Structure 1
């Protein structure tokens, strides 16, 4: 049995109740086969894959807080510190009812390779809670965040583990968490990224994941003799990533005709009105039905359906496993040329394979949505230097990073005889740097 198969067998036996984590590990290790086979004796002797798929440590803790009615509520908090071979642990905090240890492990594992691809010195980690900030008052969110950080602060620090935002964790939540960390630890340091601009945050951080997604998509198109100008784009999601992906795509001359939230989706043949979308989702925190009510050209549909719209480019920006095999078949039938992931693992394995087998250019999230964590690392740099860069400076660095990621994953795929397989290229390029660092540092 090959080393990859042995490790996959062990991981599946040990983590049988964590399907998202198993999916992520399988996707990565399968695509790393050519690299592992070329170095099998060394990697097996050093148990490299076993060490890579087992987190350095993971924390699970109780988060009690008091709601506005005086009732005590209890949630569960998590932090997984996966691998710090190339830098301090770095990864967001997800606040969503679906959060469990398997999802946090999948996200933390993906983060190892995503962070490596940025070229910046940051390792992989992830955290969060099954707390749902939707419908909660500011005071309730503060109560939760303070309780959450009271425990989390024991395990993090500017040179140890630097959490950030994720689904459900925006500037409000980061602010409350940072305040509590400072209060307990008595330290003012860049321990969180995604902070407000008045206390160490970075310009362009809000836009970074969505903008970065479009910078790599634009480079992909350019290297295939295409441009963004005049292309029809479908986007899922209506959160931070989706909003700024839509904005940047339209600045590049494309027309984005869809977005979605957890209850339904919008089709707007005249192009999504970004200002209206921001007002509905960021200011009012309302449903997309309000977008449709305010814009005559928009159609609102319940449930799923974004991928049924004819397009040139598809950008899944909502959540894991949202683009299924039937969606992939529809995209191919409708002539879609490229799928670039704005969310973490939004495309199922069979859908990914179908898209690749049918000639669709496919870039996985660990490469295409790395702009967010890259800009978080740039925020860490600014905090260390006690400086603030302009929006244009940060944006230019972000674009350079994303263009470099595209060429690095393209080159890695070509080196191993799989030109055009950007999933394999991303995993190989991310893995090689981490593996060399792990081997150099001995058994740790």
Structure 2
């Protein structure tokens, strides 16, 4: 039998040979596999049953065409995906992303990460992800509706409340979820547990909109507490200005921090007096505008083109909430120079491999996305529970459960790292804690 390191390398080699072009997927998987070596050394049965090679291969990959018609009568075709990655601990659960960058590699990496993220919540949900290379930006409501209806025509046959429960992600908000749910209902009948992130009038949950951003701050709060520190009085950089960023901004401000930046794909706003979440919500959620409009409303703010992570200003906490690989090695080194002490990820895999190495080498406490941004899927699972019970919980009930889940995720990650001689490495701890629950289930269920 191979030793732990040799086994991990053999699995990585098999992935490279099978899917050499799937760079994003490889990056996500390799980071997890490397951190699991201490677990394999302690539990050789994982190697004996070749569990890792089974784990990194999705249970099912669905790829389909999505034809749709624009308002001018022209026809278009996009690609749709649903990767049902792992159902060892529950039905597949994970969002749908509509963005031009979506491809099979992206969806597989997100589904793989989702498996561990969902495991960390302690709730009975497996991992999945999906989406399309369709771009909803600049499209009318009618065009988005027709696309969603076409997308669901195929997806409907592969999902269900006890099989696979999609939700929103980048490019898929309440509008898109509503259109998708309406299409599913016409095809399969009313089953309000088939999608989460729904409108409150047809089975949605209070606090779902805020969940990922709020959860990010609850996790960050737990991390700072573990390091004898607190959020109040801290200066924070946030990237992004979508749902996650807006509610992370709101909760951070409520906790007494000063958030000095938000951004979009064109540039960022800096306000040393603190970003106003109400103004950001008005621009992004009501007007669907660009973040540069913020400076018209707030005289203390300045707009800069480019990446917020290239902006030289001292701060304490980094909360990347935009997109994957937005922080590279050079930008991570700049964080060190700017005396950043903590980074917690609101987006999925926003730091590349070299950036993460810089965090570890320089003692920056690092909360990886699979742990820090699990609040959204946690409340989605709570929405599923409410749908099953035909009940609706109050905002405070959901928010209290969310806060406990996020504190528990940090505590379990911290303990797992300590148990395997990696104290303070919250990334390894999250990988190990998430993996162990999935591995136990897979072994107990036999050849699955």
1:355-397, Cα deviation, whole Å (9 max, x unpaired)? 1111110010000000000000000000000000000000000
**Is the Cα–Cα contact under 8 Å of residues 213 and 346 in structure 2 kept in the other structure?**
yes
Pick from 405, 416, 431 the counterpart of residue 420 of structure 2: 416
- Answer yes or no: is the 8 Å Cα contact 1:258–1:306 preserved in 2: no
Structure 1 match to 2:115: 112
Partner of 2:79: 76
Could you say which residue in structure 1 is the equivalent of 2:429? 425
Distance in 1, matches of 2:287 and 2:197, equals 21
Instruction: Show the 5 A alignment for 1:84-95.
Output: 84-95=87-98
Match of 2:442 among 435, 438, 441: 438
Counterpart-to-counterpart distance in 2, 1:44 and 1:262: 43
Q: Name the counterpart of 2:357.
A: 353
List alignment gaps of at least 5 residues for structure 2. none
CA distance in 1, matches of 2:81, 2:344: 29
Q: How many residues align?
A: 443
Residues 307 and 331 of structure 1 are in contact (CA less than 8 Å); yes or no, is this contact kept in structure 2? no
Q: Find the aligned partners of 1:307 and 1:218 in 2 and give their Cα distance.
A: 26
Deviation at 1:39, TM superposition (A): 2.1
In the alignment, the residues of structure 2 paired with residue 305 and residue 385 of structure 1 have an alpha-carbon distance, to the nearest angstrom, of 44
Q: What is the aligned counterpart of 1:389 among 393, 418, 439?
A: 393
Tell me how far apart the structure 1 counterparts of residues 222 and 436 of structure 2 sit (CA, whole Å): 23
Q: Distance in 2 between matches of 1:5 and 1:93?
A: 31
Q: Could you tell me how far apart the structure 2 residues matched to 1:407 and 1:305 are?
A: 30
The CA distance in 2 between the partners of 1:62 and 1:335, in whole Å, is 48
Verify: 1:54 aligned to 2:57, yes or no. yes
1:33-72 deviation line (CA, Å, top 9, x unaligned): 10012223x2233221111000001011000011000001
> Structure 2: how far apart are the matches of 1:334 and 1:36?
38
Asked if structure 1 preserves the Cα contact closer than 8 Å seen for 2:161 and 2:191, the reply is: no
Decide which moves more: 298-307 or 8-17.
Answer: 298-307
Unpaired runs of at least 5, structure 1: none
* Residue pair 1:235, 1:306 contacting (<8 A) in 2 also: no
- 3-state SS of paired residue (2:281): helix
CA-to-aligned-CA distance 1:79-107 (integer Å, 9 cap, x gap):
00000000000000000000000000000
Which aligned pairs between 1:12-23 and structure 2 lie closer than 5 A?
12-23=16-27
User: Within the alignment, does 1:362 sit opposite 2:366 as a pair?
Assistant: yes
Contact kept, 8 Å, 1:235 with 1:316, in 2: the verdict is: yes
Deviation string for 1:85-142 (max 9, x for gaps)?
Answer: 0000000000000000000000000000000000000000000000001111100000
CA distance in 2, matches of 1:306, 1:324: 9
Secondary structure (helix, strand or coil) at the match of 2:209 reads: helix
2:41 equivalent among 37, 60, 75: 37
* Secondary structure in structure 1 of the residue aligned to 2:195: coil
Which residue is 1:121 aligned to? Answer: 124
Q: Which residue of 2 aligns with 1:377?
A: 381
Q: Tell which deviates more after alignment, 423-432 or 10-19.
A: 10-19
Query: 2:333 aligns to what SS in structure 1?
Result: helix
Q: CA deviation at 1:307?
A: 5.0
* Contact 1:85-1:434 within 8 A present in 2 as well: yes
Q: 1:251 aligns with which of 250, 254, 259?
A: 254
CA distance in structure 2 between the partners assigned to 1:305 and 1:65 by the alignment: 36
Within 2, Cα distance between the matches of 1:26 and 1:188? 38
Aligned to 1:293, the other structure's residue is in SS state helix
Question: Which of 141, 148, 153 is equivalent to 2:151?
Answer: 148
Tell me if structure 2 keeps the 8 A contact 1:265–1:306.
no
Q: Indicate if the aligned counterparts of 2:192 and 2:202 stay in contact, CA closer than 8 A.
A: no
Q: What CA deviation, in whole Å up to 9, does each residue of 1:321-348 have, x standing for no partner?
A: 0011111111111111100000010001
Alignment match of 2:330 (pick from 321, 326, 331): 326
Residue in 2 that maps onto 1:66: 69
In 1, are the aligned partners of 2:94 and 2:377 still within 8 Å (CA)? yes
Q: Determine helix, strand or coil for the equivalent of 1:266.
A: strand
Deviation readout 1:280-332 (Å, 9 max, x if unpaired): 00001101121112211111111113353321000000000001111111111
Residues 232 and 312 of structure 1 are in contact (CA less than 8 Å); yes or no, is this contact kept in structure 2? yes
Alignment of 1:118-267 (within 5 A): 118-267=121-270
Report what 1:276 is aligned to.
279
- Residue of structure 2 aligned with 1:402, choices 403, 406, 409: 406
The equivalent residue for 1:340 is 344
